[in-house]
Amino acid sequence: MLTVKAYAVVASLLFGLGVYGALARRHAIAVLISVELMLNAAALNFVSFSRLQGNPQAASGQVFAIFIIAVAAAEAIVGLAIILALFRAVKSAALDRFTLLKW
């Protein structure tokens, strides 16, 4: 019963949650949290599908998951720095207040 499919279903549900959060939330940090959820679902998919490949290639999926984690960390660092800088300028973290480039 416990096949790749079960993991893939969990990952797709997590991804769907992340899509909803990234679209509908108004707080910049909440959107960033949703993006992290989506990235994590992708990493879970990489790991579970790599198991179909047998052992020499199974390491590849995990290497990709490690890359995802590293890139997600870089994205979180830069994203949070931008949110901090914007918060200083606008005094708010709501996304629809970030209209500095609008004239």
Q: Does 47 bind other proteins (CB under 8 A)?
A: yes
Q: Which of residues 19-38 bind other proteins (CB under 8 A)?
A: 19-21, 23-27, 29-30, 32-34, 36-37
- Can you tell me the distance from the alpha carbon of 48 to that of 52, in angstroms, rounded to the nearest whole number? 8
Q: Select the residue interacting with other proteins from 91, 99, 100, 103 (CB under 8 A).
A: 91
Cβ atoms of 60 and 53 closer than 8 Å: yes
Q: Does 8 bind other proteins (CB under 8 A)?
A: yes
Least Å distance between CB 100 and other proteins?
Answer: 14
**Is the CB of 54 or the CB of 103 nearer to other proteins?**
54
Please list the residues that pair with 8 across neighbouring strands: none
Binding string, residues 66-85; x marks residues near other proteins by CB under 8 A: xx-xxxxxxxxxx-xxxxxx
**Phi and psi at residue 94, in whole multiples of 5°?**
-80, 135
Q: Does 58 bind other proteins (CB under 8 A)?
A: yes
| Nearest residue to 24 via CA among 14, 37, 15, 34 | 34
Cβ atoms of 72 and 39 closer than 8 Å: yes
Q: Does 42 bind other proteins (CB under 8 A)?
A: no
